[in-house]
Amino acid sequence: MVPEAGAISVSRDIQEQWSRVRAMLRAEFGDTAFRTWLKPLDLGGLEQDKVVITVPTTFIRDWIVAHYADRIRSLWTSVNPQIRSIALAVRPARPRPVPAADGTGAEPRPAPAQPEVVHAPDPFEELGASLDPRFTFETFVVGKPNEFAVAAAERVAMSDEPPFNPLFLHGGVGLGKTHLMHAIAWRIRARRPERRVVYLSAEKFMYQFVRALRQKDVVSFKELFRSVDVLMVDDVQFICGKESTQEEFFHTFNALVDRGRQIVISADRSPTDLSGLEERIRSRLGWGLVADIYPTTYELRLGILQSKAERLGVHVPTAVLEFLASHITSNVRELEGALNRVVHHTRLFGTPMTVELCRDILRDLLRAHERRVTIDEIQRAVVAHYGLRLADMSSSRRARAVARPRQVAMYLCKQLTTRSLPEIGKKFGGRDHTTVMHAVRQIERLREEDPQIRQDLETLIRRLRG
Ligand code: ADP
Ligand code: MG
């Protein structure tokens, strides 16, 4: 290729890669197609991770974008993983040769028209959603409730063959499912940039499917999804009850698993609890590895707070960290939000960071937490604490080992909820309100006299209130 005026200079490496890509295109599409469509392409240059290819006409450009651009890009990525996209530019028409009157050829040429560049968007980037740069394995704090899920996620991220398929992550809101999925995607992108990793929400999957249906282009939709190496679909509970999306998702899922591609799914509940999902799909989702992310423990919350405070570059007194860890227990998103509020407040007003300040700033959040305790929760916490069964709370058994914990539970209901004595009695096997009153008095007395009861109550209250 003769470099033209204005042509971007091209290094030898990229020239060699272009020759290899051309050879592969020729082998793949045959001589005729190659001569007609691909031979007229020239290498224009390199802009960071994007190769610019020039074409003689707009028509050829559009044809290439529609039929070959994606293949050129993926061949190029296979030759050089650093290349992530290609762009096609129409070459300015060559100026007609102007006979030089004096033989010097100094006649000024018209400036070449600015080439109109059409970016051939990476269809896989369009398919997925973007990844949050903060969501990596490095920023994820590991603790008992999530260690299994993290280990599974790391296995997937570090393996070239699916170690289990699918990996199904589930857990309540704000416990780190999305964070872990992004972490897997980042890690694979770093380790194996040529693998096509697509991350998207089930909602976006549905939206794309519906659009394909509307545009009568389900074939491309299918082809695109089936050529992915790692497919991650977040919040699949979203497609419960949406029949045709489910169906399509199931086909995509099976096609990818058959081809040995990795699938990672998340949901807010386990596969068996996904009602509104067809039975065969539900059972299929549970075939791989199902990893639960459990609600956070006090230790994990403390660890997360320490890590976030470090990242924010602020010193947060231990008492404040402990206060937040024991009071904001619902999920990590709220915990982060609470820490941010406190940090911003102290930065803005220059007040010292104390527990009193936290109580003040987070009043709404804390109140919402305290309100959340229900009689059911109290009963469950008490039976777990004493190793009893839930039925013991409403039974008529009077043995001390059952009766005392029952009284503790009634006392806690009086302390932690706004329920009346008759309402509480009803929940304990229809007991009379005087029985509840007696229990409350009894435990109040024991609280003073019996260190074991006092400790039990403290543990239970901390667990229930956070
Ligand atoms: P989910 O998708 O399960 O609803 P996210 O992944 O969106 O939850 O997590 C909510 C927020 O909490 C995010 O900002 C995330 O970074 C953070 N987070 C959750 N778990 C952890 C953890 N173990 N370590 C650090 N940050 C966490
Ligand atoms: Mg999420």
Residue of the CA atom closest to atom 5 of ligand 1? 176
> Which among 175, 305, 324 is the best mutation to test ligand 1's pocket, defined by most ligand atoms within 8 Å of the CB?
175
Q: Closest-lying ligand to the alpha carbon of 174?
A: 1
Nearest CA to 176 among 340, 332, 339?
A: 332
Sheet strands (E) in 106-220? 117-120, 167-171, 197-201
Domain boundaries, the chain: 12-90, 126-293, 298-369, 375-465
DSSP string over 333-356: HHHHHHHHHHHHHHHHH-----HH
pLDDT at 414 over 90: no
User: What is the CATH topology of the domain spanning 12-90?
Assistant: GMP Synthetase; Chain A, domain 3 (3.30.300)
DSSP H/E element including 289: strand 289-293
Architecture category of domain 375-465 in CATH: Orthogonal Bundle (1.10)
pTM (2 decimals)?
Answer: 0.62
Burial category of 255 from C-beta neighbours within 10 Å (exposed 0-12, middle 13-18, buried 19 and up): middle
Which atom, in ligand 1's list, is nearest to the CA of 335?
Answer: 12
Q: How far apart are CA 256 and CA 231, in angstroms?
A: 8
DSSP H/E element including 378: helix 375-386
DSSP H/E element including 87: strand 85-90
Which atom, in ligand 1's list, is nearest to the CA of 300?
Answer: 23
Q: How far apart are CA 207 and CA 214, in angstroms?
A: 11
Distance 348 CA to ligand 2 centre (A): 31
Task: Give tens-digit pLDDT for 266-311.
Answer: 999 999 888 888 888 988 898 899 999 998 988 999 999 999 999 9
Residue of the CA atom closest to atom 23 of ligand 1? 141
Whether the Cβ atoms of residue 373 and residue 416 lie closer than 8 Å to each other: yes
169: Cβ below 6 Å to ligand 1?
A: no
Residue of the CA atom closest to atom 18 of ligand 1? 176
Distance 264 CA to ligand 2 centre (A): 13
User: What is the CATH topology of the domain spanning 126-293?
Assistant: Rossmann fold (3.40.50)
Q: Which CATH class is domain 298-369?
A: mainly alpha
Which atom, in ligand 1's list, is nearest to the CA of 332?
Answer: 12
Task: Give tens-digit pLDDT for 95-153.
Answer: 444 444 444 444 444 444 454 556 555 666 678 888 999 999 999 999 999 999 999 99
pLDDT at 325 over 70: yes
Distance 336 CA to ligand 1 centre (A): 9
